[in-house]
Amino acid sequence: MYLLLSILIGVLFTTGIYMVLRRSIVKLVIGLALLTHAANLLIFVAGRVNTPIPPIIGKGEDSLIPPFADPIPQALILTAIVISFGLTAFAIVLIKRTYKQTGTEDLDDLNTTDKIDKL
């Protein structure tokens, strides 16, 4: 299970970075979305995937008895998913505006701010 998930995370990171390095701005956004997924899964694995038993203190006990599932990583991932959702939505609007304004979807053409004598 760990091995499978680890490989999946690796694949998501590589495809994400590959897409970010493409010249099309649409692929850039897809790459960013893949990267955030990879990070979310990484938290999931780092928080251990061992048992489906919920962390609830039973009757007559005064503390948790292992094994129990750790709820924190899931809370973290939920927060991170919402944030990446917002980021992706913003990025999509941004690339649409950029395309309308500059008329190109090639990242290599968006280099005027790097030129010394421009601006």
Q: Name the minimum Å distance from CB 98 to another protein.
A: 4
Q: Decide if residue 95 touches another protein (CB under 8 A).
A: yes
Determine the Cα–Cα distance for residues 49 and 71; give it in Å rounded to an integer. Answer: 11
Which of 39, 50, 74, 85 contacts another protein by CB under 8 A? Answer: 39
Q: Name the minimum Å distance from CB 1 to another protein.
A: 15
Place of tokens 């030129």: 115
Determine the Cα–Cα distance for residues 93 and 62; give it in Å rounded to an integer. Answer: 51
Q: Decide if residue 30 touches another protein (CB under 8 A).
A: no
- Contact (Cβ atoms closer than 8 angstroms) between residue 106 and residue 23: yes
Q: Name the minimum Å distance from CB 116 to another protein.
A: 6
Phi and psi at 78, nearest 5°, equal -60, -45
| Of 35, 113, 43, 110, residue with least CA distance to 75 | 43
Site residues, another protein (CB under 8 A):
20, 25, 28, 32, 35-36, 38-40, 42-43, 45-48, 70, 72-73, 76, 79-80, 83, 86-87, 90-91, 94-95, 97-98, 101-102, 107, 110-114, 116-117, 119
